[in-house]
Structure 1
Amino acid sequence: MEEFFIYLKIIRKRWLPASLVFVLVFFFLGYDRSRKAAPLYRASGTLIFETTSPNIADPFALGSQTKLSNDVVLIKSDTLAKKVMTDLQLPLDLDPKKLSTNLMVINPEKTDVIELSFIAEDPELATEIVNTWIKNYVQLDKDQKVAQTRELASFLEKQIPESQKELEKTAEKLKNFKQNNRILDITAEAGSTIQIISGLDSQIAEVEAQLASQKSRRDSLQKIFPVDSQGGITSTFVNESPIVASLIKEIQEIKTVIEQEKIRLGNEHPQLISLEKKRDVLEEQLQKYLQNVNIQGNSPQTNVEDIYQPGSNQNILLAEYANLDREIASLEARLKSLNQLIDNYRERVDILPNLEFEQEQLQRELNARSDLLQNLIKNYQDVQIAINNTQGNIRSAEFASVPKEPTTNRALTYLIQGFLGGILAGSLVAYLLEKSDQGINNIKQIRYYFSYPLLGNIPDFYRRKIDNITSDLPVKDNPSSPVSENFRAIVASFNFMDTEEKPLKVITISSTVAKEGKSTISANIALAAAGIGKKVLLIEADLRQPGQKKIWKNIDNGLGLSNLLQKENNALISDSVVSVMDNLDILFAGNNQSNPVALIGSSQMLYLIEEIKKEYDLIIIDAPPISVAADAQILGRMSDGMLVVIRQGKINTSMLAGTKESLIQAEVNVVGLVLNGFTADTDNYYYYSNYSHYHNQTNQKLKNKK
């Protein structure tokens, strides 16, 4: 809201250029166009689209709302606009983009309808454009549908052979897997394998029992007739073979003779040696015979004579022992075979789950590829049928009829456009002028350059007739007005700054440029100071353009400051000073205006100020503007402090910057600022309005009491 009031103040300030721009824009944009405006006619048609879900006949169909959004863009394409221009034989210089821009295409939310409308001065032309546009788009939609379907058919035709190859590869992979792993039916195989393992467990238990029984019998025989298994077999063969028995008998007889002859003849007797050779020959024949019948072929050589035990009982025991040993060996071999077989079956059972998982994966892949191939074949057949039956996505079309009544009153529209455009343009111009204006319009701008205290903000009382003030001296002519109170407040601030260490007895009042009201403010401050009992002297030091003569009418005595400084006719201070009221004297500029800088900067001026300080409590020096000459800076250095007057609308930022630099270079003691005529400050404006209203009410009450 605050920004709105700021804009209103800007427009009020710049009302003249803003009004001129408003009138020009309104005339050319609104009034002139409204006089030439012809009535416009709107022709409208409708396209209704299919709402069914996407199928193989429309493979590129998207959601309804997205699809229609694409159709809206396609309808307004330049290509379709050119086709309409060709069909209707419209002028070739007509821009297709302009034609498509004038065509309004609307898709109401959550509907499958697109509305086309065209506005033109000729109702029949508008109708022909809409209907031709609808016909062309219906045909375009059908052609696109057919093209898309053909593209899909070509795609499917390429995919079917590839899919068939992949199916054959997967089937071959499954067949090889079954062959390599000897799989027919994994479930049946798992059941039968478990049964076989159970049967083998029973057989193993039975064989182990038989083996334990036979070993027990063999151990019993070994206790009765100690012999190992090979010895038992050999003994049975030896005892049952007549050749072996004969050879063994002869060997035993010779050994007996040899032992006898050793005793009788000695170990070296030839006959004994002959007997030993005969013995060796018989033993060699026995060993050869045994080797030929494979008795000792795979066992360490056994002394046959030791195992030869003639007699039927021993032979029976040896035969039974040999049979037991053979039975035990047979049972052990059978047990080993059964254990090996059951281990093989168990290993098969362990890998059956992995084989089943791999087979299922291959089978699923085979089924998926088979289904994909069947779908591709079916879709290809459907697409071939759809190519000949394609009708597009448009279900129906409602063509436009020739409008009878105009759609809009363009004259009123142009007037409204001109009015709004004028307001906008005028406001923009006012805003740009305000932004480009370097003038000082508010206190913030002054604060940016000066940090001096603000001693007063004087309204433009004389020009605006605030508080019914009709003169330049409201302190004298309207002493009870708020403006007079403001001048008294400035004087009161002087009292606060006047100390023994830094007395404030001589005050120079100046401004940046001429016509900022420094002379009027100097005179009213002098009146306010005299009104509180101080003896005041107002010195008019602006020798170039003195302004106090205009303010104090018919008071000048002809002598003044220039006369005193040049000592013309031995002029004295008492002769040159004019008393205007109690406690207030004025020293006017005088008549001589030659070389003001030399006069103001002379030692005589400094001496004059020192002499005057002895007679007066407060000396107000009305100095020239700071930017005009160096007079103000010189007087500022001679005085105890300077008061700078700034008037709204008279200076800009560059002037203010120059003033600041001049005061800094001159090392002038600036005691404060006085703002003059700052009505753009809202707070200040309302303050004076409210205070003035309160003051008028108070005066009226006093009059009524009297």
Structure 2
Amino acid sequence: MNERQEQSNTILEAWDILLQYRWRFILPAFIIMSGVLVVGFVIPRKYKAIAQFERRTDMVMTEIGTKGATRSFQDPKSILTEELKGQPAIDELFKSIDPKLPKLGIPNSSSDMSMLRGNVIKKVNVRWDISTNTIDRVRVDYVDNNPQLATLVVNTLIENYIKRSREIMNGRLNQTAQFFKDEVAGNRKKIEEYENNVLEFEIKYSELLPENPNNIQTKITTLQETLTELISEREAARALTKALKQSIDTEPEIIPSTILGQNPEYTQLLDKQRKLRDQYTEFTSTLKMKSRHPDMIALKTELAAIKEQLNTTPSEIVIERQTQNNPKLSELEIRLTTAQGEYEALAGHTAAMEDQLKGLQLEANKIYEVRSAYRKLQRQVIETERQITFWEDNLRRVEMALAAESGNKGIQLMFLKPASIVSKPVSPNWLQLIIAAVGMGIFCGALNVFVSHRTNDSFNDGEQASSFCDLQLFGAVSEIISTQQRKVRKIRNIILYPTNAIIMGSILLSLSTLLYLDLEKPDLFKDLMHQANQYTAPQKAIADDSKRLNGQSNVQATTHDLTGDTKE
């Protein structure tokens, strides 16, 4: 509680001091704030020029970039910043803008040019708005006191980069295309040599080549396939014969047969049940008997008994029993005879084909040397064709890229948004100036109050004077105010102080508004100033005319006094 009370007392004491020296706080704060706002009108402005360009890879270039050929001419993103603001780019920039600098009011002295070069290197920023595999949108900005120079710098940097990139890309594409053309021509010669060797070999060993439809390997393959099918059919016939024999062994020669008919007892029970249900319906619907009636109870009992008898009585009974020959056995014997005949025929055909296959295999062992030599020639031709296909594919891709680049397709470098003349400055900032003015005004006012309070040697009450002078205090009068002084104070408190406050606030608000228009709405501020100049110009002309007329009348009056002439 004591600490809180001390804090409250300290705050109240500081508030009393502030009220006592309020005008020593308000006047310095107003002067400093007004000064800072006025200085804001003369601080040098800095303008930021922003330009955008786009590097886009369309579907043609995506198709081209599926293999590694185009990696030799695609620029990686990591060097884009160096290409835009590196030393070669800055040198090319100054070569381009050097003739235009005198028109912008920039001297061509060595010191000024070196300072400008340092500012460009330091203040040019490169940022990516979008960065994907197919599109890169890059933003370049530069801040300078001259808005025209800032615009010229960013636009020239991007234009030079686009021009340089296209030249480099076209050169790389042409070099790559020439290399691929040389490789294609060399491989075509090899293919011609290998094809001549293959043709000579085919003419010499035409009957032993695997491409000949009548060669031994083709016959062996055909016989093997046919033999495999015959063996499968033979085994299927053997399995069928075995299954039929087992079925015949299990089938009886004579089978019994029975003739079934309807059970008369079951029919009588159904008729009786139907009659009882009709009677039950008559009792319940016509006679309106209840379930507690003895006849109803007896009827229900009889229906339940008949239902049990129906459940236990079969609906059909055997009327006659007899025996006959099994027809399935005769059918199985016929199928067995047919299956045995097929099996014997397939076994003979299979044995003959196996003997023929062994003879062909003995003859096929003699052509392995010829076939290996032919395969070697074929592999050479295929490998050379694969190489020429690879080089032709790369050549096609590079030619597509070159054609696309020549037509501004493929990798497109587009100057998306050139920088325009900037009218709104980025520095100084209006909000920062307001904060600085308020902060400095409060600081100076508080410092003045502090100094005034610390240097004040007057006594606020009689107790302070008594304790300082070590005298006994019998009574004290703080101030004797006359009627005239009270009227003066009343006028001062009611009229003078509020008027001063309104004037100060109006001045600060006007300065803040003008500064806001100058920094945030420069076009509107210029229009307002132009209209004000147009409005004040006629007033100045009228004032000049009145002064001139007054001067002429004064001259005439002076002449009349000197000559003494009068006119009626």
Q: Which has the higher helix share?
A: 2
Query: Which has the higher relative contact order, 1 or 2, with Cα contacts under 8 A spaced 6 or more apart?
Result: 2
Computing the radius of gyration from Cα coordinates, the structure with the larger value is 1
Q: What TM-score comes out, normalization by structure 1 length?
A: 0.29
Q: What TM-score comes out, normalization by structure 2 length?
A: 0.35
